[in-house]
Amino acid sequence: MPFSTLGLSQPILLALDELGYQTPTPIQEKAIPVILKGHNLIAAAQTGTGKTASFVLPLLELINSTSLDNTVKVRPKRIRALILTPTRELAVQVADNIEKYSKHLSLTSLAIYGGVDAAPHKQRLIDGVDILVATPGRLLDMYTQRAVHFDELTHLVLDEADRMLDMGFIEDINKIIDKLPQERQNLLFSATLSPQVRFLAKTAVQHAKEISISAKVGKPKIEQWLTAVDKDKKSALISQLIKENDWPQALIFIETKHGAAKLVSQLEKRDIQAEAIHSGRSQASREQVLADFKSGKVRYLVATGIASRGLDIDDLARVVNYDLPFPPEDYVHRIGRTGRAGAQGEAISFVSRDDFKNLCAIERLLGHEIERRVIAGFEPSKPLPTSDLSFVPAQKRDGYQERTSERHTTKARTPVKNKAPRRSNSGAFSSAASNKPVNQDIWGTRKNNQDKG
């Protein structure tokens, strides 16, 4: 199915053709027609599936068609669409995509985020933009300064909603929603539809269509495997893997800023040049490191989780989880940096005993065990146990899932009427991870129930 069958106008199709995009991805094929019809939408799609284009393209179509319609009175250069993102990097990425897709349209867009001088953002907002991409904190700051006005807003997008909740933005999101017109179209995109995300969707995205294209996280073109290793041997292990395999590039995820700096120092002592990216670096510094990594000037990038959502790198063959993340959904986002658009990718995880609880949570989310491999010379001093997946539903263990659910079939108007009452969220977003104990056994073999007695 070509893009031309989805209801997009010629200027957008021309931009897509110039970018070499011929066929929509599954999430684009399903989401674009729904959005063009004016429905509210809740969509689950992992990173690397073309998620951003699935909402940017129809928004451009809707806003442009309204701008050209003389019967619709809209004050020029007022914000028509607001896209909220959890991180600066993702905001920049989304804005870049908007610019590419709107190349032949007379629409303006802007990304605003913290960590940089606010004055240029404020002036651009005063001058007026059609589409605003923003992190919650900077948006509220601009609103307080009366630099943004939402009276003409007709579209709201919550991008990577799960990550925004993980980062504690729920109160900011509620404040922002309360300031928006009640009649608007609402779109929520998330890698996972956790109970927390569904709670947000229930109040912020009412009467919504639901689309879920959630290939089992271990999709065939991302080779996932892990190795058990003592914590104090991880740096030696990553050094050996880099040198023995001569990896062209690798993105290495680690949990803390201190850990990132320490690992870079250890790699450099072994004649491996690496850079670190984390929240402790200035925005300009982070952008430069990312640019160097994308260009290949930097081969090995050590990143804390804050950077995992903003990295959009074509042909990245490999990611390494030096530490395993929590919540488990972050694992999904991390490995989504590789194997993009159907390319081959590899995701490697180092697991010490300190990481085991996080491993259990990740494998429960996946519904299957990650392949275990032993690397000679790095066997752990104590073997790891195995995860207990006996309570995971069989259909989830089966692997690939694709479903379109329309539990709320009421068609919303364009713009969509949506009420966003003020509400208390105390305790609403506590962790949903299971604490069920696992069978303690030699790593890689599972105890049957009859072995318990």
Residue 449 lies in a domain: no
Query: Confidence band (pLDDT; 50, 70, 90) for 366?
Result: confident
Please give the model's pTM, rounded to 2 decimal places.
0.62
Residue 194 confidence (pLDDT)? 83
pLDDT tens string 85-130: 998 888 998 999 999 999 999 999 999 998 888 999 999 999 999 9
Asked if residue 227 and residue 202 are part of one domain, the reply reads no
- If asked whether residues 285 and 328 sit together in one domain, one would say yes
Is residue 111 located within the same domain as residue 162? yes
Percent of the chain with pLDDT over 70: 79
Q: Which residue has the higher pLDDT, 432 or 260?
A: 260
* Final residue in a domain of this structure, among 181, 215, 249: 215
* Model pLDDT, residue 398: 40
**Euclidean distance between CA atoms 22 and 81, whole angstroms:** 26
DSSP 147-170: ----TT--EEEETTHHHHHHTT-H
Asked if 45 contacts 27 with a C-beta cutoff of 8 angstroms, the reply is: yes
Beginning with the edge strand found earlier in the chain, give each strand of the sheet holding 345-351 in spatial order: 274-277, 300-303, 250-253, 318-321, 345-351, 222-228, 371-372
Q: Are residues 131 and 236 in the same domain?
A: no
Whether the pLDDT of residue 1 is over 80: the answer is: no
Average pLDDT over residues 326-348: 81
Amino acid (1-letter code) at residue 247: W
Question: How far is 269 from 228, CA to CA, in rounded Å?
Answer: 24
- Give me the domain span that covers residue 233: 222-387
Three-point CA angle 297, 256, 170, nearest 5°: 105
pLDDT of residue 247: 94
Q: Does residue 158 lie within any of the structural domains?
A: yes
| Residues 211 and 227 both lie in one domain | no
| Residue 288's CATH number | 3.40.50.300
Residue 197 has pLDDT above 70, yes or no: yes
| Rounded Cα distance, 184 and 156, in Å | 7
Q: Are residues 262 and 140 in the same domain?
A: no
| Number of domains forming the structure of the chain | 2
Asked whether residue 304 falls in the same domain as residue 254, the answer is yes
Query: Looking at the structure, do residues 138 and 191 belong to the same domain, yes or no?
Result: yes
Residue of 97, 131, 100, 135 whose CA lies nearest to 116 = 135
User: Which of 18, 305, 329, 384 shows the shortest CA–CA distance to 194?
Assistant: 329
Q: How far is CA 434 from the centre of its chain?
A: 23
Q: Please determine, for residue 393, whether its predicted confidence score (pLDDT) is greater than 70.
A: no
**Which of the four pLDDT bands, split at 50, 70 and 90, describes residue 70?**
low
Q: Residue 426 domain-assigned?
A: no
- Is residue 70 domain-shared with residue 143, that is, in the same domain? yes
**Which of 190, 215, 240 corresponds to the end of one domain?**
215
The pLDDT assigned to 67 comes to 67
Same-domain check for residues 306 and 243:
yes
* Residues 329 and 364 placed together within one structural domain of the fold: yes
The verdict on residue 79 lying in a domain is yes
Q: Is residue 114 part of a domain?
A: yes
Q: What are phi and psi of 40, to 5 degrees?
A: -70, 155
Q: Do the Cβ atoms of 67 and 268 come closer than 8 Å? A: no
164/46 Cα distance (integer angstroms): 15
* pLDDT value for 275: 95
242 and 278 part of one domain: yes
- pLDDT of 49 higher than 50: yes
